[in-house]
Chain A
Amino acid sequence: MTALKPVAVITGASSGIGAALARVFAANGHDLAVVGRRQPLLNALADDIAAHGKNRPLVIPIDLTRVDSPVRIGHELGARGLEAAYIVNNAGYGLVGRAAELDRSEQLAMIDLNVRALTDLSLRFIDSLARRRGGILNVASISAFLPGPGMALYHATKSYVVSFSEALHTELAPLGIRVTALCPGPVPTEFHGRAGIDAKKLPRLLTRSAEWVAQQGYDGLMRNKRVVVPGWGNKLLRFVVCAAPRRILLGATDRTMRGRALPQRWPKRR
Chain B
Amino acid sequence: MTARPVVLITGASSGIGAALARVFAAHGHDLALVALPDPQLDVLADQIAAAARVRPITLPFDLTQYDVGARIAERLAAHGAEPAFVVNCAGFGLVGAAAELDPAEQLAMVDLNVRALTDLSLRFVDSLKRHRGGLLNVASVSAFLPGPGMAVYNATKTFVLSFSEALHRELKPGVRVTALCSGPVPTRFQTRAGIRAALPRALACSPEFVAQEAFAGLMAGQRLVVPGAGNKILRHLLPLIPRVVLLPGKLWAMRFAMRQPAQRAPTFFRRVLR
Contacts and interface: CB of A to CB of B under 8 A. Distances in A.
Interface string B155-198: 11011111111111111000000000000000000000000000
Given A123-B106, A166-B247, A160 B158 contact: yes
A124 B103 CA distance: 8
A148 B251 contact: no
A192 interface: no
A174 B272 contact: yes
Interface stretch (B8-16, B86-94, B107-115, B211-219): B107-115
Contacts of B155: 119, 160-161, 163-164, 167
Contact of A147 (B147, B163, B171): B163
A167 B161 CA distance: 17
Main secondary structure of the interface of A (DSSP, over half): helix
Contacts of B251: 170-171
Interface residues of A, number: 52
Interface string A40-83: 00000000000000000000000000000000000000000000
B248 interface: yes
B169 A167 contact: no
A170 B254 CA distance: 13
B243 interface: yes
Interface string B220-258: 000100000000000000010001000110110000000
A247 B223 CA distance: 9
A250 B119 CA distance: 22
Interface stretch (A14-22, A84-92, A109-117, A205-213): A109-117
Given A150-B166, A253-B169, 5 more contacts: A119-B106, A123-B99, A147-B166, A152-B163, A246-B223
26 contacts: A99-B166, A99-B167, A100-B171, A104-B122, A111-B115, A112-B115, A115-B110, A115-B159, A116-B110, A116-B115, A147-B162, A149-B170, A150-B170, A153-B163, A156-B162, A159-B161, A160-B156, A167-B98, A167-B150, A167-B155, A167-B250, A168-B98, A168-B151, A170-B146, A250-B166, A251-B169
